[in-house]
Amino acid sequence: MPGRLHRGPLPPGELPPPLQGHPRRLRRSGGGTPAPGRRGRGARSPEPRDGRGAPPRGALRGPPAHSRRAGRRTLVTDHQPGATGVDAPSGRRGTEVTLRGTTVPHAAGFVAGDRPRIVTAHFDDPEAHRLSRYEELGGYQGLRKALDSTPAEVHSVIRDATVLGRGGAGFPAGVKWGFCPEGVWPRYLVVNGDESEPGTYKDRLLMELDPHQLIEGALIACYAVGLTQCFLYVRGEMALAQERIATALNEAYAAGYVGRNIMGTDFSVDVVLHWGAGAYVVGEETALIESLEGKRGMPRLKPPYFPAAIGLYGQPTIVNNVETLSNMPWIMNHGAEAYRAIGTESSPGTRMVAVSGHVKRPGVYEIVNGSTTFRDLIYGEDMCGGIREDRELKAFVPGGGSAPWFLPEQLDIPFEGRQASAAGSMLGSGAVIVMDETTDIPRAALSLTHFYAHESCGKCTPCREGGTWLERIMTRIVDGYGTERDLQLLTEVGQSICPGAFPHAADSSRGLEAVPFPYRMNTICFVGPSAYAPVNSALTLFPEEFEARVRRDEGVPVAAPGRESRV
């Protein structure tokens, strides 16, 4: 019988090797000796913000075997180098996209032509996840250049490059790094790899195909800000990403890139790999920190507004996205000016975009910020190649499932945060979901709303109750049992979550003007508004499809022919 995932305490700085066993054999974690510092069942939670309770340095952490707060047990499967057939994450009943390739998932999605490749430069090399090959490709030279400079100089380079956060908020990484209060130690770096937004799968590929690039970027950040420990938080379902990062950390420790006196200097950092349990809400940085501390993943009340002031274990904490940190090695090797020469002044560099839905070539594409339009992305011959079967575009989601929808008249908007916001949406997590003319709009909105209602942590009443009611009413309408009053109820429930005008795109055919992003909200985090976003977009942009579903008398329900909702 294969060994358990939990193998007891490890010496400082050591990670367990990848699990070995029969190909495709699934193994369950659970039981065994608890990891150091882990509480037993029924144990009282420690005081959360006294600076204590951190795990031993270098420990690999997984979910407790019988903790509801940690979710279900993790399944880990064996994978071969260059494995194919990567399934894009989706809502429980959302659209699933499968990418196929020979050495990497859907290699065509990574071909950039004449466009620069910063974070996907190694994606077409099936061995790039191994340290020996990564070093041959110039790996860890960015860290070496950083160590030849002072931390303040490295911080200045990143700040001058204006690397916008790729997790959704778009906040400049260099500015965020400067929020740590002076003289307060220890400080932590948390890498947010809990990628769970519907339609989003770019960070997973970065962790699977180029884990050393992420580790190098994290080390550069630690050096620049004086962070003493790094936590790599990976979504629980990403088995291959966990395995690749664990192996990469073992290699990096053995080579002296991680641990004590890195590259012969006095710079020392330990890295902890932690995997979550599939909760979408821990994508919010304070909920992620709560999860790291061993508690339920629920967002913290604000202020403080940034974990850089009070974060993990009550200490200053920088939380950065996987793609954000993966830019750091390139910037250190080429300089801030070279990075800013790509893209636009307000949005420099490149960005990874995960495209799914009704296109001919779904996949992950690295595009130039600001100069690439949605039309280029969806219809470009070197990218998605147009709508499947040459059908007409009906609508598209520009920034993950929580973003308000765009219509075909927004195709010429550049992939740039400010312009997308002015048009009534956001770029969010960098996921574009395309819907053609055959799409059942109410059903598509219900699929997304169901996901967010299911993922509510329950802390905020408007989200907990509002999301559930949005799903119930939408299900009633989709099944043909809705009434005109239900259409009013959807708006009323939405107003209880997000009072005031909710962002939406313009529709010139009906004289509808855009309402700019962002929105006001009565919740601590974005999950509640995310449940309402697809409903509002569908109601505002396609009211006729709801009216056709509404029962106007006591007769037979008006349902879509041959379809029944299973939500």
Q: What is the pLDDT of residue 66?
A: 35
| 335: exposed, middle or buried (Cβ count in 10 Å: 0-12, 13-18, 19+) | middle
Say how far apart CA 401 and CA 395 lie, in whole Å: 13
Determine if the peptide bond prior to 304 is cis (ω within 30°): yes
Say how far apart CA 427 and CA 412 lie, in whole Å: 14
Structure tokens at 26: 């699934």
| 79: exposed, middle or buried (Cβ count in 10 Å: 0-12, 13-18, 19+) | middle
Say how far apart CA 468 and CA 452 lie, in whole Å: 9
| Class of the CATH domain delimited by 441-547 | mainly alpha
Per-residue pLDDT of the chain (567 residues; tens, 9 = 90+): 333 333 344 444 444 444 333 333 333 333 343 344 333 334 444 444 444 444 444 444 444 333 333 333 222 223 322 222 233 333 333 333 333 222 333 333 444 457 899 999 999 999 999 999 999 999 999 999 999 999 999 999 999 999 999 987 788 999 999 999 999 999 999 999 999 999 999 999 999 999 999 999 999 999 999 999 999 999 999 999 999 999 999 999 999 999 999 999 999 999 999 999 889 999 999 999 999 999 999 999 988 888 999 999 999 999 999 999 999 999 999 999 999 999 999 899 999 999 999 999 999 999 999 999 999 999 999 999 999 999 999 999 999 999 999 999 999 999 999 999 999 999 999 999 999 999 999 999 999 999 999 999 999 999 999 999 999 999 999 999 999 999 999 999 999 999 999 999 999 999 999 999 999 999 999 999 999 999 999 999 999 999 999 865 544 555 554 444 443
Q: What is the pLDDT of residue 91?
A: 34
Residue range 119-334 in CATH 3.40.50.11540: yes
* Residue spans per domain, the chain: 119-334, 350-436, 441-547
The upper half-sphere exposure of residue 409, i.e. CA atoms within 13 Å in the direction of its Cβ, equals 13
Say how far apart CA 105 and CA 487 lie, in whole Å: 42
Strands 27-28 and 229-234: unpaired
Chosen CATH of 350-436 out of 3.20.20.70, 3.10.20.600, 1.10.760.10, 3.40.190.10: 3.10.20.600
- The vertex-492 CA angle with 489 and 496, nearest 5°, equals 135
Q: What is the pLDDT of residue 551?
A: 67
Give, as one character, the DSSP assignment of residue 434.
E
